[in-house]
């Protein structure tokens, strides 16, 4: 049994939590436990249960979301998100020497991961360790996020670090996940895998195995 030399920051979907995401990633974590530590955190805003959370995780409240109510500006929400992620990174660094090298994220958390990568490229997040890659599961990319990136991106809106995109073929936001990969990720550094399922973390053994193999290649 090896000792992990790297860590992944894991960002859950809306209306969920770090503890729920830990369970959803059980197969992937087990396969990568000798290579990575997995860092889980809760999003900064309270939220109702998100897609796929009920009834399985009904007893796992409270639930959290990344972007809060509709009244806040994009800038304000992003500031709150950055502060919460920065605090999680700082807490990890205070107790572990294992370096954070990538992001593993689902749904709205995958949107947050994408925005973190984009901001890092612009030199806006000095507290975030250099990200080598990100695995993005069923990303929910609203038009508002694309417009914000275009309006605030002197360096462009293309994420250049390697990305792995996991898309459920029956996902209700499949078109939005595909849009992220097509319009905001370097085509030479993006890998797209589709799996049988909806808006969920891959669970079938063959789907998990393929995702795990690609994550290993990215590192």
Q: Is the pTM of this model over 0.75?
A: yes
> Do the Cβ atoms of 12 and 21 come closer than 8 Å?
yes
57 has a pLDDT exceeding 90? yes
DSSP state of 60: G
Burial class (CB in 10 A: 0-12, 13-18, 19+), 72: middle
Provide the β-strand partners of residue 104.
10, 135
- pLDDT-wise least confident of 71-75, 85-89, 99-103, 150-154: 71-75
**Identified catalytic residue from 37, 84, 165, 171:** 171
Q: DSSP letters of 108-176?
A: HHHHHHHHHHHHHHTT--TTSPPP-EEEEES----HHHHHHHHHT-TT-S-B-S-EEEEEETT-TTHHH
Phi-psi bin for 138: left (phi > 0), alpha (psi -120 to 50), beta?
A: left
**Identified catalytic residue from 64, 165, 184, 199:** 199
Which are the contacts of 45, defined by CB distance < 8 A and separation ≥ 6? 64, 65, 66, 67, 68, 69, 80
pLDDT of residue 1: 62
| Catalytic (active site) residue 42 | no
| Catalytic (active site) residue 171 | yes
Mean pLDDT on 161-180: 98
108 has a pLDDT exceeding 70? yes
**Identified catalytic residue from 107, 165, 167, 207:** 107
Q: Does domain 6-218 have CATH number 3.40.50.720?
A: no
**What is the average pLDDT value for the chain, to the nearest integer?**
95
pLDDT of residue 35: 96
Which are the contacts of 43, defined by CB distance < 8 A and separation ≥ 6? 11, 12, 14, 16, 17, 64, 65, 66, 81, 84, 108, 109, 112
Mean pLDDT on 100-107: 98
| Catalytic (active site) residue 107 | yes
71 has a pLDDT exceeding 70? no
């Amino acid at each position: 049994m090896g000792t992990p030399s790297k860590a992944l920051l894991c960002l859950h979907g809306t209306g969920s939590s770090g503890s729920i995401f830990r369970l959803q990633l059980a197969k992937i974590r087990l396969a990568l436990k000798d290579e990575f530590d997995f860092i889980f955190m809760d999003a900064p805003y309270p939220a109702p249960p998100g897609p796929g959370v009920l009834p399985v995780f009904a007893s796992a409240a409270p639930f959290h979301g990344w972007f809060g109510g509709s009244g806040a500006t994009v800038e304000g929400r992003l500031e709150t998100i950055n502060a919460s992620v920065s605090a999680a990174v700082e807490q990890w660094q205070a107790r572990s020497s294992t370096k954070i090298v990538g992001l593993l994220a689902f749904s709205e958390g995958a949107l947050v991961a994408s925005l973190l990568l984009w901001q890092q490229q612009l030199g806006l997040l000095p507290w975030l360790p250099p990200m080598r890659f990100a695995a993005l599961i069923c990303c929910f990319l609203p038009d508002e996020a694309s417009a914000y990136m275009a309006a605030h991106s002197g360096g462009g809106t293309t994420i250049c670090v390697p990305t792995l995109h996991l898309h459920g073929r029956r996902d209700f936001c499949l078109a939005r996940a595909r849009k992220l990969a097509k319009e905001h990720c370097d085509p030479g550094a993006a890998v797209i895998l589709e799996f049988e399922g909806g808006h969920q973390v891959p669970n079938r053994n063959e789907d998990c195995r393929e995702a795990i193999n690609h994550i290993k290649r990215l590192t």
